Chains A and B, each alone.
Chain A
Amino acid sequence: MTLTRRTFPGFAALFSLPLAWVLLLMVVPYAIMISVGFWTRQFPLFYPDFQFGNYAQILADPQYTTVILRTLKIAACVTVCALLLGYPLAYFLVFTVRSQKLRNLLYMSVIVPLWVSYLLRAYTWKIILGTDGALNSLLVSTGIVSAPLDIFLYNQTAMVVTLVYIFVPFMVMPLFTVLDNIPRRLIEASEDLGVGPFMTFWKVIFPLSLGGVVAGATMTFCLSFGDFVAPVLVGGPDGIMVANLLQTQFGAALNWPLGSALATLVLALVLILLQLSSRLDRAGRVDLA
Chain B
Amino acid sequence: MTSSPIVALDGVQKRYGAFVALHETDLAIAEGEFVTLLGPSGCGKTTTLRLVGGFEQASAGRIAIAGEDVTERPPYRRPVNTVFQDYALFPHMSVAENIGYGLTVRSGRIGRAERDRRVADALSMVGLDGMAERRPGALSGGQRQRVAMARAIVRRPRVLLLDEPLSALDVKLREGMQVELKRLHRELGITFLMVTHDQTEALALSDRIVVMNQGRIAQIGSPTDLYDRPASPYVADFIGAANLLEAQALGGGAFRLAGGQTMVSRRADAAAGRKVSLGVRPERLLATAAAGENTLACTVTERLFHGDRLRLELTLDGAAQPLFAEMARTAAVESFAPGSRVTIQVDPADVMVFETGDGR
List residues of chain A with CB under 8 Å of any chain B CB: 183, 185-186, 188-196, 199, 203-204, 207-208, 284, 286-289
Contacts and interface: CB of A to CB of B under 8 A. Distances in A.
Interface of B: 53-55, 74-77, 80-82, 84, 86, 88-92, 101-102, 105-108, 135-137, 151-152, 155
Contacts, number: 73
Contact of A194 (B53, B84, B90, B108): B108
Contacts of A195: 76, 101-102, 105, 107
Contacts of B86: 183, 185
Contacts of B53: 192
A189 B76 contact: no
Given A193-B101, A193-B151, A208 B92 contact: yes
Nearest to B154: A193
A192 B75 contact: yes
B81 A207 contact: no
B346 to A, nearest CB: 48
23 contacts: A186-B88, A188-B55, A188-B75, A189-B82, A189-B89, A190-B90, A190-B101, A191-B54, A192-B53, A192-B54, A192-B75, A192-B152, A193-B76, A194-B155, A195-B76, A195-B101, A203-B101, A208-B91, A284-B92, A286-B92, A286-B135, A286-B137, A288-B91
Given A204-B90, A286-B137, A287-B137, A191 B84 contact: no
Contacts of A190: 90, 101
A194 B155 CA distance: 9
Contacts of B77: 194
Contacts of B90: 186, 189-190, 204
B135 to A, nearest CB: 8
Contacts of B88: 183, 185-186, 188-189
Chain A contact surface mostly: helix
A287 B91 contact: yes
Contacts of A284: 92
B139 to A, nearest CB: 11
A188 B91 contact: no
A237 to B, nearest CB: 47
Contacts of A207: 92
A204 B91 CA distance: 9
Nearest to A287: B137
Given A194-B76, A287-B91, 12 more contacts: A185-B86, A189-B82, A193-B102, A193-B151, A193-B155, A194-B77, A194-B105, A194-B155, A195-B102, A195-B105, A208-B92, A286-B92
A203 to B, nearest CB: 8
A199 B74 CA distance: 14
A189 B82 CA distance: 7
A192 B91 contact: no
Contacts of A194: 76-77, 102, 105, 107-108, 155
A153 to B, nearest CB: 45
Contacts of A204: 90
Contact of A191 (B76, B108, B136, B151): B76
B299 to A, nearest CB: 51
A196 B76 contact: yes
B80 to A, nearest CB: 8
Nearest to B108: A194
A191 B102 contact: no
Nearest to B136: A287
Nearest to A189: B88
A194 B76 CA distance: 4
Contacts of B106: 196
A188 B46 CA distance: 14
B235 to A, nearest CB: 31
Contact of B84 (A189, A287, A288): A189
Contacts of B151: 193
B105 A191 contact: no
B137 A192 contact: no
B101 A192 contact: no
A143 B55 CA distance: 51
Residue from A191, A207, A288, A289 whose CB has the most chain B CB atoms within 10 Å: A191
